[in-house]
């Protein structure tokens, strides 16, 4: 039943004991197949450049507001500036198997006062794409955000970026709509697709991720026994 104030107007649910969360620290999140650690150009730069095959594939930067990068020096300059930013707060995704950096992700639009935070600036190299480590990295970041006390976890992308939208749905985000002509980047207009997970949904989604990432969910060849999408749909039911 919707609450009403003293004038009979509908108002939102009360948040007893609500305390705004802290800004995420520059801390390492350790998983089974990957670590998510603060971005460091000296430590991760060359590894990321090599994992992205020298950033030669311009298609991987189509929906990012920067890149592609013609040389390692150009890429390193971008990494150096990004590593010093507080919002976005950038991390490297490091394979625990090889010990090398194979992807980049960030928290951004960090708003403790409203308990909202976004994940973005995702750069998954070919070595990270479509692997359990890619899923575990996203799980680790959202788990950390909710454990810090955030109420809303956002995913936004160019509405024309079909792979990103499919990934959001696979990871359990709910589609909220299209913000038309939301921004301009690379001299073109962008409609932005909005997705979110809220804290009330998280416990069931966390169980789904945990079940999918369990070693028992993969056969000897590393093939998943139960798809994550199936577990996410069951969690939502």
Tokens of 27: 């801390």
Q: What is the CATH number of the domain that holds 133?
A: 3.40.630.30
Which pLDDT belongs to residue 35? 97
Which pLDDT belongs to residue 15? 92
Q: State how far the Cα of 222 lies from the Cα of 149, in Å rounded to an integer.
A: 34
Q: Is residue 153 part of a domain?
A: yes
Per the omega criterion (within 30 degrees of 0), is the bond before 68 cis? yes
Check if the beta carbon of residue 177 is closer than 8 Å to that of residue 194: yes
In this structure, is the dihedral angle defined by the CA atoms of residues 72, 77, 78 and 79, taken in order, positive or negative? positive
- Domain span including residue 202: 25-236
Q: State how far the Cα of 183 lies from the Cα of 162, in Å rounded to an integer.
A: 18
Q: Is residue 222 part of a domain?
A: yes
Which pLDDT belongs to residue 167? 95
Centre a 10 Å sphere on the Cβ of residue 143 and count the other Cβ atoms it contains. Answer: 19
Which pLDDT belongs to residue 54? 65
Q: State how far the Cα of 72 lies from the Cα of 65, in Å rounded to an integer.
A: 18
pLDDT digits (tens), the chain, 237 positions: 789 999 999 999 999 989 999 999 999 999 999 999 999 999 999 999 999 886 777 888 999 999 888 899 999 999 999 999 999 999 999 999 999 999 999 999 999 999 999 999 999 999 999 899 999 999 999 999 999 999 999 999 999 999 999 999 999 999 999 999 999 999 999 999 999 999 999 999 999 999 999 999 998 888 899 999 999 999 888
Tokens of 50: 């090599």
Q: Is residue 118 part of a domain?
A: yes
Q: Could you tell me which of 204, 159, 152 has the C-alpha nearest to residue 179?
A: 159
Strand runs labelled E in 14-56: 29-30, 34-38
Q: State how far the Cα of 103 lies from the Cα of 129, in Å rounded to an integer.
A: 9
Q: Is residue 41 part of a domain?
A: yes
User: How many residues does the structure list for the chain?
Assistant: 237
Centre a 10 Å sphere on the Cβ of residue 229 and count the other Cβ atoms it contains. Answer: 15
Q: What is the pTM of this model?
A: 0.94
Per the structure, how many domains does the chain have? 1
Q: Is residue 1 part of a domain?
A: no
Q: Is residue 151 part of a domain?
A: yes
Q: Is residue 225 part of a domain?
A: yes
Q: Is residue 109 part of a domain?
A: yes
Q: State how far the Cα of 228 lies from the Cα of 56, in Å rounded to an integer.
A: 31
């Amino acid at each position: 039943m919707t609450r009403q104030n003293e004038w009979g107007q509908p108002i939102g649910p009360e948040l007893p004991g609500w305390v705004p969360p802290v800004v995420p620290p520059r801390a390492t999140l350790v998983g089974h197949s990957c670590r998510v650690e603060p971005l460091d150009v000296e430590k991760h730069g060359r590894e990321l450049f090599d994992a992205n095959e020298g950033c030669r594939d311009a298609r991987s930067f189509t929906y990012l507001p920067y890149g592609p990068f013609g040389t390692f020096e150009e890429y390193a300059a971008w990494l150096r500036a990004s590593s010093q930013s507080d919002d976005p707060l950038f991390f490297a995704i490091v394979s625990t198997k090889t010990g090398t950096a194979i992807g980049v992700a960030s928290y951004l639009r960090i708003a403790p006062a409203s308990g909202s935070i976004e994940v973005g600036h995702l750069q998954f190299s070919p070595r990270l794409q479509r692997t359990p480590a890619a899923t575990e990295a996203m799980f680790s970041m959202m788990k950390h955000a909710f454990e810090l006390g955030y109420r809303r976890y956002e995913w936004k992308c160019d509405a024309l970026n079909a792979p990103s939208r499919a990934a959001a749905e696979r990871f359990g985000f709910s589609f909220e709509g299209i913000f038309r002509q939301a921004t301009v980047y690379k001299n073109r207009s962008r409609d932005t697709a909005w997705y979110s997970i809220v804290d009330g949904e998280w416990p069931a989604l966390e169980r789904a991720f945990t079940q999918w990432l369990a070693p028992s969910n993969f056969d000897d060849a590393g093939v998943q026994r139960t798809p994550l999408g199936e577990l996410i749909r069951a969690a939502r039911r």
